[in-house]
Amino acid sequence: MQYIPNIIFVIILIAGIGYFTKNVRKLIRNIKLGKDVDRTDNKKERFNNMARIALGQSKMVRRPIAGILHIIVYLGFIIINIEVLEIIIDGILGTHRIFAFLGGLYDFLIGSFEVLALLVLVSVFIFWIRRNVINIRRFKTLKGWPKNDGNIILYFEVVLMTLFLTMNAADLQLQNIGADHYAKAGAYPISQFISPLFNGMSEGSLVLLERGAWWLHIIGILIFLNYLYFSKHLHILLAFPNTYYGDLNPKGQMDNLKAVTDEVMLMMDPNADPFAAPAGDEPEAEPEKFGASDVTDLNWVQLLNSYTCTECGRCTSECPANQTGKKLSPRKIMMDTRDRLQEVGDNIDKNGSFVDDGKQLLNDYITTEELWACTSCNACVEACPVSISPLSIILDMRRYLVMEQSAAPMDLNNMMSNIENNGAPWPFNQMDRLNWSQE
C-alpha cells in the first residue's frame, strides 16, 4: 500500500512525457514536409549563433525592458528545473528532498530558486500589464486565440511559482515543528514570509498542504509541457535548433533557385540539343514548381521558423509597410504558415496521407496584397530575436506568383519586360547607356 503514491506518480509522469513525445514526433514529421535545404555547413559558427542568440538571449535585450524581464523568466525556467529533477526523483523513490545531503549547497540552491520564483512572479505581472493594460501596438493587435494563448502562459507561470513557494512554506513550517520525514534542509528566503500564514495549523493539515502543492506543481509542469505543442510557446525548445539552422549568408543575399539555374545554363549552352528527348525509357520528369503556393513548397527551415515564432511582433513593429498602414505583417506571415502547416498535418493524421482540401497558403491565408507590400528591407529579419526570416517566405510566394502564374502587378510586369528588352527597368535603349558622360 505504501507504494501507491510512487506508482501513481510514475503513471502520471509516463503519460505526461509520452503524450508530449507523441506530439513532438508529429511536429518533426510536419517540419519534414518542407523541401530539403542544406544547413550542415559551418558547424562552429552555427553553434556560436545558438549559444549567443538562443542561450545568451543577445537579441532579446535590444529592447531592454522586455529583454531583461524575459531573461529573468527564462533563467527562472531553466534553473528551477533543477528542482523539478529532485521532485521527479522524490516522486519515483518516495523520498523527500533527496538532494538535502548537499548541505550548504542545497540551502544555496533552494534559496536561489525561491528568489528567482519571486522575480519570475514580478516579471510575469509586468508582462501581463504590458499585454493587457498598456497600449503596446504589437500586443494590442493580437486577437482571439493568440491573445489568450499569451495570457494563459503567464497564468501558468503564476500558478506554478505560487505552488512552488506554498510547498516550501508548508515544508518550512513542518520542519520547524519537527514533523516526521521533514528534516531541516534548505533555505527559504521568500517562503519564510509565507510560512507564518500557516501558524497554528495541525501537522496533518500542513502535510496535506505541502503534499497538495507538491503534486499540483509537478502535474502543472507536465500539463505545461504538453500545452507547448498547441501554443506559441514552443519557442522555449525550438529557439535552439532555429538559431542553429538559421541563414548564415549576408541578409541581402537571396538564394539562387537551382531549378532555374539548370534551365538558364541549358539555354546558354551552345552545345545543348534543343530537341533532346529524355534518355532511354525514363519517363519525362515532372517539371519543378517555381516558388511557393503552399507550405509543402517551402523548405523545412522555413517551416521550423513558423513553429518557433512566439508571436512577439517585433518584426511587425519594425516593418515599414506595416507602420504605414499596409496589410503586410511579417508576424502574420509566420502565424499563417504555422496554421496552414498544422492544418496539413491534421489532414495527414486523419487520412493517412494528405488529401486535397482545396486550400493553400496563398490566398486562403496570405493575400497577394500583403506579399506585394514588402520592400525586402530585412527589418523583420533583423528584429527577430530567434533568427526567423519572414522575408524568405514572402520572396518564395512572389516567385510562385510571377513564375507560375504571371500574376505580378502591371507596373512590375512593365519593369520586367523593360529589363528583358533593353537591360534596364525603364524603357531606355541599352545603346544609350553611356550617354550620361557626354551630357
Partner 1 sequence: MSEAVKVPTMAEYMAEGKMPEVLFWVGCAGSFDDRAKKITKAFVKLLHSSKVDFAVLGTEESCTGDPAKRSGNEFLFQMQAVTNIEVMNAYEIKKVVTACPHCFNTLKNEYPSLGGNYEVMHHTQFLKSLLDDGRLTVEGGKFKGKRITFHDPCYLGRANNVYEAPRELLQKLEVELTEMKRSRRNGLCCGAGGAQMFKEPEPGNKDVNIERTEDALETKPDIIAAGCPFCNTMMTDGVKNKEKEDSIEVLDVAELIANAQDL
Pick from 321, 81, 407, 330: which is nearest to 224 by CA?
81
Residue 264 engages partner 1 in binding (rule: CB under 8 A): yes
Residue span binding partner 1 (CB under 8 A) among the ranges 45-53, 71-79, 94-102, 427-435 = 427-435
The grid coordinates of residue 259 equal 531549378
Query: What is d(CA 344, CA 11) in angstroms, rounded to the nearest whole number?
Result: 32
- HEC readout, 357-425: CCCCHHHHCECHHHHHCCCCCCHHHHHCCCCCCHHHHHHHHHHHHHHHCCCCCHHHHHHHHHHHHHCCC
**Shorter beta-carbon distance to partner 1: residue 204 or 252:** 252
- HEC readout, 139-204: HHCCCCHHHHHHHHHHHHHHHHHHHHHHHHHHHHHHHHCCCCCCCCCCCCCCHHHCHHHHCCCCHH
Residue 250 engages partner 1 in binding (rule: CB under 8 A): yes
Size of interface with partner 1, in residues (CB under 8 A): 69
Query: What is d(CA 29, CA 24) in angstroms, rounded to the nearest whole number?
Result: 9
Residue 257 engages partner 1 in binding (rule: CB under 8 A): yes
Report, in Å, the least distance between residue 276 CB and partner 1. Answer: 20
Report, in Å, the least distance between residue 261 CB and partner 1. Answer: 6
**Shorter beta-carbon distance to partner 1: residue 16 or 291:** 291
Report, in Å, the least distance between residue 395 CB and partner 1. Answer: 7
From candidates 144, 196, 377, 389, binder to partner 1 by CB under 8 A? 377
Burial 194-232 (b: 16+ CB within 10 A, else e): bbeebeebeeeebbebbeebbbbbbebbbebebbbbebb
From candidates 9, 164, 214, 400, binder to partner 1 by CB under 8 A? 400
**Shorter beta-carbon distance to partner 1: residue 94 or 409:** 409
Residue span binding partner 1 (CB under 8 A) among the ranges 48-56, 157-165, 208-216, 410-418 = 410-418
Asked whether the beta carbons of 338 and 231 are under 8 A apart, the reply is: no
**Shorter beta-carbon distance to partner 1: residue 351 or 421:** 421
Residue count (the chain): 439
Residue 438 engages partner 1 in binding (rule: CB under 8 A): yes
Report, in Å, the least distance between residue 401 CB and partner 1. Answer: 6
Query: What is d(CA 345, CA 353) in angstroms, rounded to the nearest whole number?
Result: 9
Window 269-298: residues binding partner 1 (CB under 8 A): 290-291
Residue 379 engages partner 1 in binding (rule: CB under 8 A): yes
Residue 67 engages partner 1 in binding (rule: CB under 8 A): no
Query: What is d(CA 102, CA 121) in angstroms, rounded to the nearest whole number?
Result: 27
Residue 247 engages partner 1 in binding (rule: CB under 8 A): no
Window 293-332: residues binding partner 1 (CB under 8 A): 318, 320-321, 323-328
Torsion sign (Cα): 73, 76, 77, 79:
positive
Q: Given the rule CB under 8 A, which residues bind partner 1?
A: 249-254, 256-257, 260-261, 263-265, 267-268, 290-291, 318, 320-321, 323-328, 369, 372-379, 381-382, 395, 397-403, 408-409, 411-412, 414-416, 419-420, 423-426, 428, 430-439
